[in-house]
């Protein structure tokens, strides 16, 4: 085991070697780089051992294909999982180095938009921590999700240059490059893997996240002795095009615009990923691929990697010489698919012409898949043209990626009970009728190691002091906190932990925004991507309502609240940007109004990312999960908040339904239309917002304020929001749920006055959060879909 003294000496030496400077002169970034590079030393052997063990034991392995991974910072996770966090913290303290400052020098690996990429990162952590043979496969974007700042109330985007610090965790494997072939005129591109170790918690497993980068192919066809200007132009075009492939992450969350480069990225990912997997299998286990489905599982995270289906068919047929039927049998038994959304605008479809010209052979295969699939349907449902047209993989000139994913895989899952039911009853109903055995649910989860142990060490320590450390390995053991729910002593300790986190957040906000918060006010938090269906606008409207009431009656008896928002809007999403502007405008108006006597404060924090989430969530009293019922597939921040003792106010949507089941109706505040009621609303058109606008004076007052000059903006800035809210069927039922939301907020106010009851609720939430650990989710995938088993990597 490493000693403190060894750590101290090693760090000084490494700083000298890397930065060429002494410890006193070194910046936080230098110290971070040195420590991270030392961790690389510890990982190497374990990584090799893990890979070798899987190969020797012929372990079935899963490859999780995802166009996004959002791991956040890795230093603390890696130290902790290696069991080196304590010794290093002590060593750093003795050297006079602030560990937090050093760790904060790391830039977030922000290769994802939000929930989808974060889920993939939580799954990798759980796979490794459960000792399961599972790896990630993604794209190494040069620029991650844009950096957001707010200037004059408006979102401004800047490129995220995370790689400028040279990502210390990645290992470039130039020798393992593969080529990816596009149709003419694009031709061949080289894909170079960058491997990032994924370290298991308290075991010897080190799995791999392999991220692909596009590079110029070797051996360009040029005659150097007679380069014409035309040759040079062509070369440059090729170079620019290749570099563009892995340059940027598309910043649209749940919106697919059908951009050409995105299709290129999708094929680049799956072709490179599959080629390297197949090459590895053939090297280690021989050239017969007939049993591929017993050797590997490929999981596609949403439809972005769905071209894995025709690409695997192509490899098995064109390169391995198999016939269609055998290749199809192997492909469909290898691939499984998770659906992440039912929003129509988020469902991927590619114009036939575009796909055919970019990827002629892949299109040919998809065409054949469609022909055979439709023939099968015709046999089963003779004469039912409408049904077959509705299920076809190619229809109306488009390739429908969800249909391709369902037809070409053996398992289709949603990400929460409600969402899976909606898939079966509605979005994919015909597919469910056709192959019900493919459909299942896997409720999402979050890694309790990052979201509790790392993000909230004070709470983790309190829990361990109270019930022992078994919850770290088996998070459902958090239920052993239940007997302490009514304990005043435990409640007081939890109160102190929450207060400490609120003060830390308040300090961050003061340092960065010069806003002073009352840390005894309720921290009422909504942090997530800005999207109409998530209804930040509903939240803003009720703040306007509360503000009006308080203005009218300054003596109004309310618990002081601090409203905290954060989240990025897609750069082209006009309405979402308007919502940000509204929130920032309200903060200017309300924070500076002396009549409010600091009873209300609003902050919009810039550049929401994993690290900011780790700072905000432990400080929250109230978790706002208020999407239109039926629209949020699962949500995962709802789980992070409950695990940190916040009380959820939410709709019966996504995993909120299961959180309510877990904690009981008395420990969550639920309001609003159900998914069925919301659907009925849309279908019957009975929910014309004008009816509510005319009936409810509070609605009218708030909505009118968007256009009547009450808000401190010049001109008609918020008219688009006004029109959106009153459009007969444009909105996400904000006004329909408004009254119920106000009632629910009043209930929260009452609940939080009784401190004993409130902390009891918080403890029950923490105690029941174990089932939302991604360890549970990943175990379910491993057992029921991937059929992989844990490996115990031996000590060498």
Residue with tokens 């349907």: 377
Could you say which residues in the range 430-489 bind ligand PLP, by CB under 6 A? none
Shortest spacing between CB 451 and ligand PLP, in angstroms = 8
Residue 370 or residue 454: which is nearer to ligand PLP going by CB?
A: 454
Residue 309 or residue 613: which is nearer to ligand PLP going by CB?
A: 613
Q: Which one of 338, 539, 636, 777 is in contact with ligand PLP (CB under 6 A)? A: 636
Residue 131 or residue 650: which is nearer to ligand PLP going by CB?
A: 650
Counting every residue written for the chain, the total comes to: 796
Going by the DSSP 8-state scheme, the letter that residue 570 receives in this structure is P
Shortest spacing between CB 624 and ligand PLP, in angstroms = 9
Residue 409 or residue 609: which is nearer to ligand PLP going by CB?
A: 609
Which member of 14, 534, 577, 631 is catalytic?
534
Shortest spacing between CB 71 and ligand PLP, in angstroms = 10
Going by the DSSP 8-state scheme, the letter that residue 199 receives in this structure is E
Q: How many Å apart are CA 331 and CA 347, to the nearest integer?
A: 23
**Binding of residue 77 to ligand PLP (CB under 6 A):** no
Shortest spacing between CB 440 and ligand PLP, in angstroms = 21
Could you say which residues in the range 548-587 bind ligand PLP, by CB under 6 A? none
Q: Quick one: how far is CA 322 from the chain centroid?
A: 38
**Binding of residue 251 to ligand PLP (CB under 6 A):** no
Residue 191 or residue 639: which is nearer to ligand PLP going by CB?
A: 639
> 243 - beta bridge partners?
none
Could you say which residues in the range 117-146 bind ligand PLP, by CB under 6 A? 118
Burial profile 660-674: b = 16 or more Cβ within 10 angstroms, e = fewer: bebbeeebbbbbbbb
Which member of 447, 519, 585, 636 is catalytic?
636
Shortest spacing between CB 69 and ligand PLP, in angstroms = 12
Residue 612 or residue 788: which is nearer to ligand PLP going by CB?
A: 612
636 is catalytic: yes
640 is catalytic: yes
For residue 520, the number of C-alpha atoms closer than 13 Å in the C-beta half-sphere is 4
Q: Which one of 115, 251, 408, 618 is in contact with ligand PLP (CB under 6 A)? A: 115
> 154 - beta bridge partners?
151
Could you say which residues in the range 595-624 bind ligand PLP, by CB under 6 A? 608-610, 613
Residue 446 or residue 699: which is nearer to ligand PLP going by CB?
A: 446
**Binding of residue 340 to ligand PLP (CB under 6 A):** no
Report how many helices (DSSP H) and strands (DSSP E) the chain contains, helices first. 33, 23
- Decide if 617 contacts 451 (C-beta within 8 A): yes
534 is catalytic: yes
Q: How many Å apart are CA 719 and CA 442, to the nearest integer?
A: 41
**Binding of residue 528 to ligand PLP (CB under 6 A):** yes
Q: Tokens at residue 501, please? A: 């986190």
Cβ neighbourhood burial of 576 (10 Å; 0-12, 13-18, 19+): buried
Number of residues that bind ligand PLP (CB under 6 A): 13
**Binding of residue 651 to ligand PLP (CB under 6 A):** no
Residue 424 or residue 637: which is nearer to ligand PLP going by CB?
A: 637
**Strands 206-215 and 335-338, sheet pairing:** unpaired
Q: Tokens at residue 740, please? A: 């119920």
588 is catalytic: no
**Binding of residue 635 to ligand PLP (CB under 6 A):** yes
Shortest spacing between CB 124 and ligand PLP, in angstroms = 14
Going by the DSSP 8-state scheme, the letter that residue 319 receives in this structure is I
CA angle 424, 425, 431 (to 5 degrees): 50
Q: How many Å apart are CA 554 and CA 128, to the nearest integer?
A: 55
Burial profile 285-304: b = 16 or more Cβ within 10 angstroms, e = fewer: eeeebeebbebbbbbbbbbb
400 is catalytic: no
Which member of 46, 529, 531, 561 is catalytic?
529
3-class SS string, 407-470: HCCCEEEECCHHHHHHHHHHHCHHHHHHCHHHEEECCCCECHHHHHHHCCHHHHHHHHHHHCCH
Shortest spacing between CB 447 and ligand PLP, in angstroms = 11
Residue 526 or residue 705: which is nearer to ligand PLP going by CB?
A: 526
Shortest spacing between CB 114 and ligand PLP, in angstroms = 4
* Residue 531 burial (CB count, 10 A): 24
Which member of 85, 340, 577, 578 is catalytic?
340
Shortest spacing between CB 609 and ligand PLP, in angstroms = 5
* Catalytic positions, written as ranges: 340, 528-529, 534, 636, 640
Residues of the shown chain interacting with ligand PLP in the complex, contacts defined by CB under 6 A: 114-115, 118, 528-529, 608-610, 613, 635-637, 640
């Amino acid at each position: 085991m490493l000693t403190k003294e060894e750590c101290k000496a090693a760090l000084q030496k490494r700083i000298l070697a890397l930065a060429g400077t002494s410890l006193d002169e070194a910046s936080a970034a230098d110290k971070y780089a040195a420590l991270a590079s030392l961790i690389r030393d510890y990982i190497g052997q374990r990584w090799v051992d893990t890979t070798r063990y899987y190969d020797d034991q012929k372990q079935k392995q899963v490859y999780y294909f995802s166009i996004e991974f959002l791991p956040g910072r890795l230093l603390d996770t890696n130290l902790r999982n290696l069991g080196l966090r304590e010794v290093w913290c002590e060593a750093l303290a003795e050297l006079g180095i602030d560990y937090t400052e050093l760790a904060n020098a790391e830039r977030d690996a922000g290769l994802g938009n939000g929930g989808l990429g974060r889920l993939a990162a939580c799954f990798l952590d759980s796979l490794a921590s459960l000792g399961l043979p599972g790896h990630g496969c993604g794209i190494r974007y040069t620029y991650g999700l844009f950096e957001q700042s707010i200037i004059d109330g408006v979102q401004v985007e800047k490129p995220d240059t995370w790689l400028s610090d040279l990502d210390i965790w990645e290992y470039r494997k130039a020798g393992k490059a593969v080529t990816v072939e596009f149709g003419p005129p694009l031709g061949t591109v080289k894909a170079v893997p960058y491997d990032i170790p994924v370290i298991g918690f308290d075991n010897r497993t080190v799995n791999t996240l392999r991220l692909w980068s596009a590079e110029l192919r070797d051996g360009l066809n040029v005659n150097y002795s007679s380069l014409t200007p035309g040759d040079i132009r062509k070369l440059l075009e090729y170079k620019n095009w290749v570099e563009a492939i892995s340059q940027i992450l598309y910043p649209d969350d749940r919106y697919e615009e059908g951009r050409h480069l995105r299709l290129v990225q999708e094929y680049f990912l799956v072709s490179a990923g599959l080629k390297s997997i197949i090459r590895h299998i053939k090297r280690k286990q021989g050239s017969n691929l007939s049993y591929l489905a017993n050797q590997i599982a490929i999981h596609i995270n949403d439809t972005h990697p769905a071209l894995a289906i025709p690409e695997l068919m192509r490899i098995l047929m064109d390169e391995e010489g198999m016939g269609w039927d055998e290749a199809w049998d192997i492909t469909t038994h290898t691939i499984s698919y998770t659906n992440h959304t039912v929003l129509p605008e988020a469902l991927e479809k590619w114009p036939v012409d575009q796909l055919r010209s970019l990827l002629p052979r892949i299109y040919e295969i998809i065409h054949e898949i469609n022909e055979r699939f439709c023939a099968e349907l015709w046999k089963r449902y003779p004469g039912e043209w409408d049904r077959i047209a509705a299920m076809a993989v190619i229809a109306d000139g488009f390739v429908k990626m969800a249909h391709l994913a369902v037809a070409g895989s053996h398992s289709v899952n949603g990400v929460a009970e409600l969402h899976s039911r909606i898939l079966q009853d509605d979005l994919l109903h015909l597919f469910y009728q056709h192959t019900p055995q493919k459909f299942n649910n896997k409720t999402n989860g979050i890694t309790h190691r990052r979201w509790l142990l790392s993000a909230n060490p004070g709470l983790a320590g309190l829990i361990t002091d109270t019930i022992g450390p078994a919850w770290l390995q088996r998070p459902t053991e958090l239920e052993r906190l239940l007997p302490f729910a009514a304990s005043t002593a435990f409640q007081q300790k939890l109160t102190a932990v929450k207060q400490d986190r609120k003060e830390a957040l308040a300090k961050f906000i003061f340092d960065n925004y010069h806003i002073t918060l009352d840390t005894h006010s309720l921290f009422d938090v909504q942090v997530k991507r800005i999207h109409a269906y998530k209804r930040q606008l509903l939240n803003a409207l009720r703040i306007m309502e509360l503000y009006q009431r308080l203005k009218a009656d300054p003596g109004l008896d309310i618990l002081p609240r601090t409203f905290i928002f954060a989240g990025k809007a897609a750069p082209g999403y006009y309405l979402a940007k308007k919502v940000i502007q509204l929130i920032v405008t309200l903060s200017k108006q309300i924070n500076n109004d002396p009549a409010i006597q600091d009873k209300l404060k609003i902050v919009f924090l810039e550049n929401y990312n994993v690290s900011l989430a780790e700072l905000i969530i432990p400080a929250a009293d109230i978790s706002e999960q208020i999407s239109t019922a039926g629209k949020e597939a699962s949500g995962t921040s709802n789980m992070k908040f409950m695990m940190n003792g916040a009380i959820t106010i939410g709709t019966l949507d996504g995993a909120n339904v299961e959180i309510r089941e877990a904690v009981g109706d008395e420990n969550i505040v639920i309001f609003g239309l159900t998914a069925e009621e919301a659907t009925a609303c849309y279908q019957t058109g009975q929910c014309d917002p004008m009816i509510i606008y005319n009936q409810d004076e509070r609605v009218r007052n708030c909505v009118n304020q968007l256009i009547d000059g009450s808000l401190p903006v010049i001109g008609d800035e918020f008219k688009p929001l006004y029109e959106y809210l009153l459009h007969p069927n444009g909105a996400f039922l904000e006004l329909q749920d408004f009254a119920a939301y106000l009632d629910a907020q009043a209930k929260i106010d009452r609940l939080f006055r009784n401190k004993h009851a409130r902390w009891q609720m918080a403890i029950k939430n923490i105690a029941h959060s174990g089932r939302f650990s991604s360890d549970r989710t990943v175990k379910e995938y491993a057992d029921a879909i991937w059929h992989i088993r844990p490996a115990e990597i031996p000590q060498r």
